[in-house]
Chains A and B, each alone.
Chain A
Amino acid sequence: MSEPLLRIRNLRASVDGQEVLKGIDLAVAAGEVAAIMGPNGSGKSTLSNVLAGRDGYEVTDGEVWYDGRDLLDMAPEERAAAGVFMAFQYPVEIPGVVNATFTRTALNAQRKARGESAIDAIDFLKRARETLGRLEMDEAFLRRDVNAGFSGGEKKRNEIFQMAVLEPRLAILDETDSGLDIDALRIVATGVNAMRDGQRALVVITHYQRLLEHVVPDSVHVLADGRIARSGDRELALELERAGYAAFQPA
């Protein structure tokens, strides 16, 4: 058995001196879709922020290995260049920065860091248009400022668009299903499923089961009170949908 693409060992992390992650162990293999489910306050967003490298989260113990590298030792941009993508729960609005320019700048920054040649504007546009078509998104998206004035659903779709263009090896989707209507959910799921190629790993962090109806996970992990309380297969997600998180809540 080869080493998993992502391995988290006894990860402990604090926010403002308060321990939120209390020893997480998780392994995600290349090609695997892992769902991390949990009630509010269980540590889901802290876990995603620690994996993305956001400031303000203090890792007090444990380690995170990605493709043989110490992920926690890498700057956010190094993680991106190494193939880690975070689809944010609350994507930031950046007025004055055009979406197409931004996405191409990001792609080329990553390619440069990997020693690859830059993609010119014409090839990029071609690639971007194909991706937009698959995601049933209007080309006007490219000309708009990054997330500025986007609806919640548009912001989530823009994250999926960026993911599709950047072609990460590990994508972490943080509550990507929240705030989506049925159509947007289906489009997002289509985009996510298109990323499944047997090599790429996906970590889907969610409160609800509904995205998992469209993006069928290989493994399901319940995060409760900062630990993985239980792991299973798709059936576990369905069970949670029926019974809720009551069994995992602190007494």
Chain B
Amino acid sequence: MTEAWLAGQRAAFAACRGALPGAGTPWVDALRAQAFRQFEEDGPPSPRIEEWRSGPTAALTGQVFAPTAPDGARPASVPASYLAGPRHRLVFVDGRFSAEHSDPGEPPTGARLTSLGTLLAEDPAAARELVGDPEAFAEERLSLVTDRRPQALVALNTALASDGAVLIVDDGVALPHPVEVVYLARAATDPSAHHLRTLIALGAGARANVVEVHAGGSGSVWTNHVTETALGAGARLEHVRADAGTRSAVRVDVAHARLHAGAAYAGFVMAGNTGAVRTETRLVLEGAGADGEINGLCLAGGASHIDALTRLDHRAREGTSRQLWRGVFGDEARGAFQGRIRVLSGASGTNAALDNRNLLLSTGARTESKPELEILTDDVACSHASATGQLDGDALFYLRSRGLSERMARAVLMEAFAGAVVDRIADDGVRAFVRRLVDDQLNVLGSTAS
């Protein structure tokens, strides 16, 4: 199967490379070619790779997902805006920017909001600046921060990325409204892959709030999404990545962020696909006093599988980080959380915490939790905790004794459990949106749970 899968990816790359954004621009072609070679060297993810031990590798390689050429057809429907208030909206359909469905509004002077395809076509020099030296980029790493091979899917994404949102904000500029990016996949009949690349670069002291939402999909769709972020000194990004009821066979969602001195990244992940999800977040605190936060909710029912991985590297002194991850698993769902805090030598004064809690709603649901601390310096305060259990029977009885039905009581407790993570989202409008998504997902879980 692996050979056939690899052969399928080779055929796909050969077929579509000439039509990908930036094709014909020498450095882009070279980057894509190198990335594809690296993908071939690394091979598809397998359980033999430690970071993929619990990943949805079978679902991923079970079908030869390949990029599809745009057929020009319009989607049957596009979700209405997820955020209630003013926002800048970019919509991508099947991996390509849709100007017709987007509403970018007018970002402030000094902020550039566009698509990767547009940027590579209109201003390849600016794109090259974002990527850095493409030679070094491909040899050393596949994105700004991936520090360990194999990262075959990031490599494949680099080779095949068809589009994605790009946000470049100059020093000192703050976006007053959030950016809503919608990645809509239509139902597919043949196995289809969408390789999406989001680029976010905030200059010193810049501020932005980006909400990336996945929607649609079907059992024949694989979405492979990489979001790369670079935060200048003192910049602040709030970054939400969420499933709005996606039905893809597999969704791989990887975020990489590099933080300079005093920068802050506040990330939130909501994974609730009905198929398989692999969600990775890798933060590197490169500058002193940077602050990284990655919170996540994994809500899975049916036969879905959610595999979450975090890598939070403290590379400079006085950095702070927090990770709060919670999972709710019902029916026959599978979950896994691998979270790591790594404090490198020189990162003294680090304060880092990681907390993972899981609720199992049924006897058929399973999850595993693997928090890791790797501390290579003194003078740090790091904590990690992990717990997996069921809904508290005493609390359920207490709620029922006050008149709540068993189902309501379970819903109230699940909502409280998940709400503690949602509450960490700073922006009122974004938090309200995520809470709705979470409530919807919990309703589905609650209706099937025993």
B397: nearest chain-A partner, CB-CB: A54
A80: nearest chain-B partner, CB-CB: B403
Within 8 A of A (CB), among B393-412: 393-395, 397-406, 408-409, 412
Complex CA distance for A97 and B406, rounded to whole angstroms: 16
* Interface SS, B side: helix
Is the beta-carbon distance between B403 and A109 smaller than 8 angstroms?
yes
Is the beta-carbon distance between B401 and A80 smaller than 8 angstroms?
yes
B248 → A minimal CB distance (Å):
31
B417 proximal to A (CB < 8 A): yes
Specify which of B402, B405, B406, B419 lies most central, judged by the most chain A CB atoms within 10 Å of its CB: B402
Complex CA distance for A166 and B402, rounded to whole angstroms: 9
Q: Mark B396-434, 1 if CB is under 8 A from A, else 0.
A: 011111111110110011011101100000000000000
Complex CA distance for A109 and B404, rounded to whole angstroms: 6
Q: Of A32-40, A85-93, A189-197, which binds chain B?
A: A85-93
* Interface SS, A side: helix
B392 proximal to A (CB < 8 A): yes
Q: Mark A77-106, 1 if CB is under 8 A from B, else 0.
A: 101110000101001101111000011011
A63 → B minimal CB distance (Å):
21
A76 proximal to B (CB < 8 A): yes
Q: Number of contacting residues on A, CB 8 A?
A: 28
A75 proximal to B (CB < 8 A): yes
Is the beta-carbon distance between B416 and A113 smaller than 8 angstroms?
no
Complex CA distance for A109 and B402, rounded to whole angstroms: 9
Within 8 A of B (CB), among A47-74: 52-55
A93: nearest chain-B partner, CB-CB: B395
B70 → A minimal CB distance (Å):
45
Specify which of A79, A105, A162, A166 lies most central, judged by the most chain B CB atoms within 10 Å of its CB: A105
Is the beta-carbon distance between B392 and A92 smaller than 8 angstroms?
yes
A76 → B minimal CB distance (Å):
4
Is the beta-carbon distance between B419 and A77 smaller than 8 angstroms?
no
Is the beta-carbon distance between A106 and B416 smaller than 8 angstroms?
no
Q: Which of A80, A92, A107, A113 contacts B395 (CB 8 A)?
A: A92
A177 → B minimal CB distance (Å):
20
Is the beta-carbon distance between B394 and A92 smaller than 8 angstroms?
yes
Complex CA distance for A94 and B397, rounded to whole angstroms: 12
12 other contacts beyond A76-B397, A76-B401, A94-B395, with CB at 8 A cut-off?
Answer: A52-B397, A55-B393, A55-B397, A80-B403, A91-B398, A92-B392, A92-B395, A94-B413, A96-B417, A97-B415, A109-B403, A166-B403
Query: What are 21 A-B pairs at a CB distance below 8 A?
Result: A55-B393, A75-B400, A77-B404, A77-B405, A92-B394, A92-B395, A94-B399, A94-B413, A95-B416, A95-B420, A96-B419, A97-B412, A97-B416, A105-B408, A105-B412, A106-B399, A106-B403, A106-B404, A109-B404, A113-B403, A166-B403
